[in-house]
Structure 1
């Protein structure tokens, strides 16, 4: 469900919708290192649905390797990418340094996929376009961003190709999300390309504040530490919102809360600049961030590992793929008095997915770290529409599409959603393969060679 990229070709024009990093399983991550299926220099433009790395994180590599066109995003996505992409480059460099110094890499000289400097240079290509503003890339090829909920700046993309409309859902948000406003209802399109992250499941019917309160009170009584791995964009804000409401009601123990994510701290100001996209007012945002002590420096982050409980640490990354949370796991994961709260989707092949599957040790920095802390999964915090919500969003459209392509999901999730669309909506639907080509006129699910590099 990672590494989202779709290439659209019309005559001699090429645009790439999303440019994401592959994450999770090694067989997928290795695709980040293979030559791009088409020459990056031959791509005329990139259009991003939102700032999460599985949709935007390959942009620095594409620019470094020759892409010279514009990267179109919403204003919110452009600002978030200005924080997210350099941070990604820094973490890739840090991972390579750790691998080299610890000698736990299989490569003689580990190198990052790209650097923070590569990411910063790629930001010069970004061109913000507002929602509901149609922008022409070439004659007969234009696009429009429509609100998708999910996170700040997230958009569905309606691409008009020779008069036929392809609607890319991007990552679809939820109508009941406590932070973001709901996605725009689907409008008629010739073809729908939909995500399927939660295509085979429904979100738990639970009160996240009740779960948070119970876990924190239980762990605080044991003087333990609550570790909350969280995506710096979207999820951290939702967690702080719930914790601040608990504190306001007197339902949270008076223990310190630390926000150990410089990126999440920087994101707070961006949310304040786009009040029309979320449900929070300035006062609620201020209360959320006043709740936690912000940790900026590496030295202060290391001190948290010596402090001990009781306390709450919120830190990236949400799937335990890297970042400061790994150091906290090494320090506190082996203690039964502590808890690890997983607050969203865990892609296959990640440490978060391993914990969900019952793993009692994790490979971190080249060694196996025992995990004896309580593991709590809170699926209700997800910012993705679940299977029923995806079907409801599709089914409300006035005129069905001529074809649907189910993407951005693990195989089971994508195929389960495909089957439900066929059975419940009676629409022609396919799950495309990696590098599959589809003719817009025929909508036949045929596999062929990737487009030539030119």
Structure 2
């Protein structure tokens, strides 16, 4: 029997995760993410998939990050009518993410039309809030570590994977062959989450390589403390562009820990992320999925000032007193952090503290790479603020942690497909795995691989 694997995203790049398994009679899409970063990639979100969405039978989601779920409304709009399966926390987070994504895209299209900086006349959103909401009836939650039949000879099982709340790796058994999709692998010693489960068997393994070329530094808390105190001593402001899911909650925990033990001054700590707020509430609901107690969640929540509206954002931004601000988005591609960057990029006493992966082409990557000017809403701002990078907070496994994750395999897979990484990181991981006698391939975007089983 012949099975086709279509690499429709996160192949040769980090974002846009989509892998289609086509048995000829049944079609399974693993993840359904948006491309992010450089314009060449973002334009792919507007392209038609090489398969009709109405022909896809089921979507399996590893976790609720936009680059894994953000394309769902577009697919539903184009005719997908199957089930979307994921863990309960993932579906709750995905609902939050998709609604926000639709809302932001509407707002940015309106702003582009109003201020005339779009090359498209008129600018239109990829999807809107209503279309995001229209995808929710297709959501169905699964239980961890239980096989679920999808079709004759096809079944699926979801396993705990750390990384973010609700994240899983997926075991897909197709006519006796086991396909394992790593999703984004968490870390054995994560701040908030339990260690990932590890697969014992795989015939075909699809493994992420975001940090396949490096080892994360330790002592992120020490680095955070140093940066905060150096900036606050100058009565400056610290801005943390943050992913709303997991990173914001990890930062809240660390800042609460530092402030509650008087290691940093008693200044305002602000969470300006509607999604971050909503996801924290999901944390409070699903305490079995993480290390925090209900009491700790409540204490952390009370330490932060939360914004209610964009008016609050502008009010905070215009107040030049020292403060710590957590705001989305994590790569500064959109969200309320842009308002703070507009106000503070040119301020010598401000520190921009990047604390997560910055994809090529994003404002966050431009700031990280030392660009002297950053364009925001059609206007250029000089980067005079201090820029620091907090690497140790990553929720992605590094090279050694990826190898540790593979350590329970009872035998080598027939093939390892290295995905979800920039060229250098994927190739470095390939070299390391090949030295350990794994048979590896780095598929390119839109490659089709035929497997005979």
Q: Is TM more than 0.5 here?
A: yes
How many residues were matched structurally? 440
The answer to whether the 8 A contact 1:196-1:406 is kept is yes
Structure 2 gap ranges (5+): 1-13
**1:57 aligned to 2:70?**
yes
Distance in 1, Cα, partners of 2:113 & 2:52 = 31
**1:184 aligned to 2:197?**
yes
Q: Where does residue 317 of structure 2 map in the other structure?
A: 305
Distance in 2, Cα, partners of 1:202 & 1:62 = 37
Structure 1's consecutive aligned runs of 4 or more residues displaced over 6 angstroms after TM superposition are none
Q: Where does residue 427 of structure 1 map in the other structure?
A: 438
Describe the superposition over 1:9-48 as per-residue Cα deviations: whole angstroms up to 9, x where unpaired. Answer: 1131111000000000111111000112210001011000
**1:84 aligned to 2:97?**
yes
Q: Where does residue 41 of structure 2 map in the other structure?
A: 28
Distance in 2, Cα, partners of 1:403 & 1:220 = 51
Distance in 2, Cα, partners of 1:289 & 1:263 = 14
Describe the superposition over 1:375-406 as per-residue Cα deviations: whole angstroms up to 9, x where unpaired. Answer: 11001000000011101211332211111000
* 1:208 CA displacement: 2.0
Q: Where does residue 136 of structure 1 map in the other structure?
A: 149
Q: Where does residue 447 of structure 1 map in the other structure?
A: none
The answer to whether the 8 A contact 1:208-1:242 is kept is no
Q: Where does residue 376 of structure 1 map in the other structure?
A: 388
Q: Where does residue 301 of structure 2 map in the other structure?
A: 289
* 1:214 CA displacement: 1.7
Q: Where does residue 349 of structure 1 map in the other structure?
A: 361
Distance in 2, Cα, partners of 1:12 & 1:440 = 15
Paired residue for 2:163, among 131, 144, 150? 150
Distance in 2, Cα, partners of 1:137 & 1:392 = 31
Q: Where does residue 447 of structure 2 map in the other structure?
A: 436
Q: Where does residue 263 of structure 2 map in the other structure?
A: 251
**1:330 aligned to 2:342?**
yes
Paired residue for 1:118, among 108, 131, 143? 131
How do 1:209-224 residues align onto structure 2 when only pairs under 5 Å count? 209-224=221-236
Secondary structure of the residue that 1:171 maps to in structure 2? coil
Secondary structure of the residue that 1:96 maps to in structure 2? helix
The answer to whether the 8 A contact 2:202-2:409 is kept is no
* 1:440 CA displacement: 2.6
Larger CA deviation: 169-178 vs 130-139: 130-139
* 1:3 CA displacement: 0.1
Distance in 2, Cα, partners of 1:437 & 1:126 = 28
Distance in 2, Cα, partners of 1:20 & 1:272 = 26
Distance in 2, Cα, partners of 1:62 & 1:249 = 48
Larger CA deviation: 101-110 vs 390-399: 390-399
Secondary structure of the residue that 1:254 maps to in structure 2? coil
* 1:351 CA displacement: 0.7
Structure 1 gap ranges (5+): 443-454
* 1:269 CA displacement: 1.5
Secondary structure of the residue that 2:449 maps to in structure 1? coil
Q: Where does residue 3 of structure 2 map in the other structure?
A: none
Distance in 2, Cα, partners of 1:292 & 1:37 = 46
The answer to whether the 8 A contact 2:159-2:170 is kept is yes
Secondary structure of the residue that 1:165 maps to in structure 2? strand
Larger CA deviation: 35-44 vs 212-221: 212-221
- With structure 1 as the length reference, what TM-score do the two structures score? 0.95
Secondary structure of the residue that 2:450 maps to in structure 1? coil
- Which protein, 1 or 2, shows the higher relative CO under an 8 Å CA cutoff with sep ≥ 6? 2
How do 1:251-270 residues align onto structure 2 when only pairs under 5 Å count? 251-270=263-282
* 1:221 CA displacement: 2.0
Describe the superposition over 1:299-358 as per-residue Cα deviations: whole angstroms up to 9, x where unpaired. Answer: 111101111120111100000010000011001111000000101111111111111111
Secondary structure of the residue that 2:358 maps to in structure 1? coil
- With structure 2 as the length reference, what TM-score do the two structures score? 0.95
Describe the superposition over 1:40-93 as per-residue Cα deviations: whole angstroms up to 9, x where unpaired. Answer: 001011000000000000001000111011111111101111111100111111
Distance in 1, Cα, partners of 2:407 & 2:342 = 46
CA RMSD of aligned residues (A): 1.0
